[in-house]
Amino acid sequence: MKEDHYITPDPWDGLRAFTAARIALGRTGTAIPVREVLQFRLAHAHARDAVFSSLDMQLFRQQSWEINELHSEAADRTDYLQRPDKGRKLHPSSAAALEAANADVAIVVADGLSATAVNRHAMPLIERLFPMLQNQQISCAPIQLVQQGRVAIGDEIGQLLKVKLVLMLIGERPGLSSPDSLGAYLTFNPQPGITDEARNCISNIRPEGLPYDLAAEKIFYLLREALRLRLTGVLLKDNYTLSLQ
């Protein structure tokens, strides 16, 4: 006999069509159905795999973009997870390799807590964003590809490159329904010591979340406004949807 015969439906079952969240799972007696338990374990395994995934360096090397390959002070993934501070600082050899670009923007791509997200979504997003920047004559430094990096490492990179603004693309902490969510952080006048209220964040960039086209348009709007107003963070309001009306 099928398992569904023993499952008591949840009154909110109809809402499952609108979200990937684990709601209205039903029950078998006083327990969660076995099917839902197994799906939870599978999602948890995907999340763990994402945390321990690695940047596909060859994937980025095959592109026509000019890139710099950098590394944080974290020696490996274990060091990265146990010492968040090391992920915020460049390894001295990487810092020494950077030269002033004197450009408007530096795009920094870092693995963060899900290199899976970066491997899947960073390139399609950049491919959509580059033409927008070129059309507005916004100059870009070479793409900075960082292994074992956290958001704040972009501040040091931006200062060394002497750019006006850093756009950080980074893998977000995996969720049980989104192990491959990409985040974008914009920071004007980057320098070590900046805190998060001075940044703008766009999260959940992926086909099942914020699609590439919309994410690129939103990033471009905020980036252009940041350069015009010379600021980011809580003082830079996201009026992108209003500008379309």
pLDDT number for residue 3: 54
pLDDT number for residue 243: 52
Q: How many Å apart are CA 50 and CA 27, to the nearest integer?
A: 30
Residue by residue, DSSP assigns 152-221 as THHHHHHHHHT-SEEEEEEEPPP-SS-TT-EEEEEEES--TT--GGGEEEEEEESTTSB-HHHHHHHHHH
Domains of the chain with CATH codes: 3-51 (no CATH), 57-243 (3.40.50.11240)
Q: How many Å apart are CA 237 and CA 197, to the nearest integer?
A: 12
**3-class secondary-structure state, position 52:** coil
Q: How many Å apart are CA 60 and CA 222, to the nearest integer?
A: 25
pLDDT number for residue 1: 42
pLDDT number for residue 29: 78
pLDDT number for residue 8: 80
**Pair 167, 184: CB distance under 8 Å:** yes
Block mean pLDDT (10 aa), the chain, length 245:
65 77 78 83 87 92 93 96 97 95 96 96 97 96 97 97 98 90 98 95 94 96 96 90 54
Please report, to the nearest 10 degrees, the dihedral formed by the alpha carbons of residues 234, 236, 242, 244 taken in order.
Answer: -140
pLDDT number for residue 2: 52
Q: Give the predicted TM-score (pTM) of the model.
A: 0.88
pLDDT number for residue 245: 45
Cα distance from N-terminal residue to C-terminal residue, the chain: 55
pLDDT number for residue 237: 87
Pairing of strands 165-171, 199-205: unpaired
**Pair 53, 115: CB distance under 8 Å:** yes
